[in-house]
């Protein structure tokens, strides 16, 4: 039995409840305020896809097929030990996956509006957040008070501030750590039993990186090409594009995705009533399932100004229609506003197209020299 399975078993034996989550729209503060542990269940494992394809269409996004494959085979201890799985009506694939999943697991799906721009949508989402609070209270037999919510907000806002500080290092030239190392740090947050311990780990990491900066150590030479990666979530195991970019001697200085900085940029407002503030923050997540999605474009202003990329690489999972269509919108926006080179890469979890992607990335790097 793996270390994590043992820890999960111990947590369960101690009476802890576990909530498995699939999306950046899941309001983690509510889960923590209910005294439960929150884990991400999004899978980046290629070998789980075949199992997912036994039920789901082959032309679905690999993240959905892999996540479903892990769930249906009970290979993922986080899924296995989850008392409740939290889903949201984001893309069509995920919505339908949750329908199937609810046949063998307790799943609650939050109904997400398709826009964050109008008052009706905000009210609708606030009601969904209230409903989730009620469900957590009922199922876990706890009361989620404003005081508990405020405590959870402070805890997670502190995490967000620390991740912002960590990201600040990537504005430097030379960059002290690689994008791949940064991704490992981001990915680690998905498997945390103790959030305070995680915050301490990030603080230690900030000190270590500061030491590297002070002693002139760097992951890439000064003047190396700087790339911002955007698009779909790309965790460890599904990070080949990030690896290839860095193998081509360019530094990935920012990841504008749900496995990167997307969820850390905006804090929960600590001056508003806690439930409203939580609902507001999560609804404003700039995912391509929102239509239109102007916040994603607007956030590129400070990214380009502060991280000074030579190019933007947009990663799209095959079968992800929303990010695929939005790629065109983003490309036009970045060209018209910043005249910045843009590369769209559509791929999956397999390794078969590695060399093809490498050739395209190399050609893109040549282009950014002009």
Structure-token match 């009601």, residue found: 127
Residue 261 sits in the site that holds ligand SF4 (CB under 6 A): no
Nearer residue to ligand SF4 within complex by CB, 89 or 178: 89
The vertex-217 CA angle with 242 and 159, nearest 5°, equals 60
Residue 322 sits in the site that holds ligand SF4 (CB under 6 A): yes
Per-residue mark of binding to ligand SF4, 211-240 (x: CB under 6 A): ---------------------xx-------
Alpha helices, H only, the chain: 3-13, 28-33, 49-53, 62-72, 77-80, 92-101, 119-140, 146-168, 179-188, 195-214, 240-247, 274-283, 294-298, 300-307, 321-338, 354-368
Residue 170 sits in the site that holds ligand SF4 (CB under 6 A): no
Shortest spacing between CB 233 and ligand SF4, in angstroms: 5
Alpha helices, H only, 92-239: 92-101, 119-140, 146-168, 179-188, 195-214
Q: How far apart are CA 185 and CA 1, in angstroms?
A: 25
Q: How far apart are CA 37 and CA 8, in angstroms?
A: 10
Shortest spacing between CB 89 and ligand SF4, in angstroms: 10
DSSP sequence for 86-101: EEE--SHHHHHHHHHH
- Considering only residues 18 through 37, tell me which ones interact with ligand SF4, judged by CB under 6 A: 23-25
Greatest CA separation for the chain: 62
Nearer residue to ligand SF4 within complex by CB, 167 or 293: 293
The HSE-up count of residue 90 (CA atoms within 13 Å, CB side) is 24
Binding part of the chain for ligand SF4, among 140-148, 158-166, 184-192, 318-326 by CB under 6 A, reads: 318-326
Shortest spacing between CB 58 and ligand SF4, in angstroms: 14
Shortest spacing between CB 54 and ligand SF4, in angstroms: 18
Residue 140 sits in the site that holds ligand SF4 (CB under 6 A): no
Shortest spacing between CB 242 and ligand SF4, in angstroms: 16
The vertex-108 CA angle with 129 and 44, nearest 5°, equals 105
Residue selected from 77, 93, 176, 274 as contacting ligand SF4 according to rule CB under 6 A: 93
Residue 282 sits in the site that holds ligand SF4 (CB under 6 A): no
Residue 320 sits in the site that holds ligand SF4 (CB under 6 A): yes
Residue 101 sits in the site that holds ligand SF4 (CB under 6 A): no
Residue 258 sits in the site that holds ligand SF4 (CB under 6 A): yes
Residue selected from 45, 94, 195, 225 as contacting ligand SF4 according to rule CB under 6 A: 94
User: From residue 212, how far is each of 44, 172, 198, 251, 327 by CA, in Å?
Assistant: 30, 12, 21, 16, 36
Nearer residue to ligand SF4 within complex by CB, 322 or 327: 322
Residue 289 sits in the site that holds ligand SF4 (CB under 6 A): yes
Asked whether the beta carbons of 290 and 319 are under 8 A apart, the reply is no
Residue selected from 79, 317, 333, 364 as contacting ligand SF4 according to rule CB under 6 A: 317
Shortest spacing between CB 94 and ligand SF4, in angstroms: 5
Query: What are the beta bridge partners of residue 231?
Result: 315
Residue 323 sits in the site that holds ligand SF4 (CB under 6 A): yes
Per-residue mark of binding to ligand SF4, 49-88 (x: CB under 6 A): ------------x-xx------------------------
Q: How far apart are CA 199 and CA 206, in angstroms?
A: 11
* Tokens encoding 202: 């990030």
Residue 90 sits in the site that holds ligand SF4 (CB under 6 A): yes
Shortest spacing between CB 168 and ligand SF4, in angstroms: 23
CA 138 to chain centre: 28
Asked whether the beta carbons of 142 and 34 are under 8 A apart, the reply is yes
Q: How far apart are CA 254 and CA 239, in angstroms?
A: 14
Residues of this chain that bind ligand SF4 (CB under 6 A): 23-25, 61, 63-64, 90-91, 93-94, 232-233, 258, 285, 287, 289, 317, 319-320, 322-323
């Amino acid at each position: 039995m793996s270390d994590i399975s043992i820890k999960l078993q111990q947590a369960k034996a101690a009476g802890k409840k576990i909530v498995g989550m699939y999306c950046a729209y899941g309001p983690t503060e509510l889960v923590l305020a209910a005294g439960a542990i929150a884990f991400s269940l999004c899978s980046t494992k290629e070998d789980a896809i075949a199992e997912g394809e036994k039920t789901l269409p082959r032309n679905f996004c690999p993240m959905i097929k892999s996540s479903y494959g892990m769930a249906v085979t009970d290979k993922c201890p986080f899924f296995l030990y989850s008392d409740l799985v939290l889903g949201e009506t984001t893309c069509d694939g995920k919505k339908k996956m949750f329908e199937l999943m609810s046949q063998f697991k307790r799943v609650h799906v939050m109904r997400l509006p398709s826009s964050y721009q109008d008052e009706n949508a905000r009210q609708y989402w606030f009601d969904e957040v209230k409903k989730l609070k009620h469900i957590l209270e009922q199922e876990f037999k706890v009361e989620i008070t404003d005081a508990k919510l405020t405590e959870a907000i402070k805890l997670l806002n502190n995490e967000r501030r620390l991740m912002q500080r960590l990201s600040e290092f990537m504005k430097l030239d030379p960059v002290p750590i690689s994008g791949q190392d940064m991704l490992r740090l981001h990915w680690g947050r998905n498997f945390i039993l103790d959030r305070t311990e995680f915050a301490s780990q990030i603080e230690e990491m900030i000190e270590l990186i500061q030491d590297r900066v002070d002693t002139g150590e760097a992951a890439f030479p000064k003047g190396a090409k700087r790339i911002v990666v955007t698009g779909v979530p790309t965790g460890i195991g599904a990070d080949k594009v990030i690896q290839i970019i860095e193998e081509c001697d360019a530094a990935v200085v920012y990841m504008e995705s749900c496995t990167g900085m997307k969820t850390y940029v905006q804090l929960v407002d600590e001056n508003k009533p806690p439930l409203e503030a939580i609902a507001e923050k999560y609804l404003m997540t700039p995912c391509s399932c929102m239509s239109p999605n102007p916040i994603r474009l607007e956030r590129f202003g400070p990214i380009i100004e502060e991280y000074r990329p030579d190019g933007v690489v947009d990663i799209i999972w095959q079968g992800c229609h929303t990010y695929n269509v939005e790629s065109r919108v983003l490309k036009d926006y970045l060209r018209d506003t910043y005249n910045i080179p843009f590369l769209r890469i559509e791929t999956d979890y397999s390794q078969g197209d590695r060399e093809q992607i490498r050739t395209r990335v190399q050609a893109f790097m040549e282009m950014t020299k002009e």
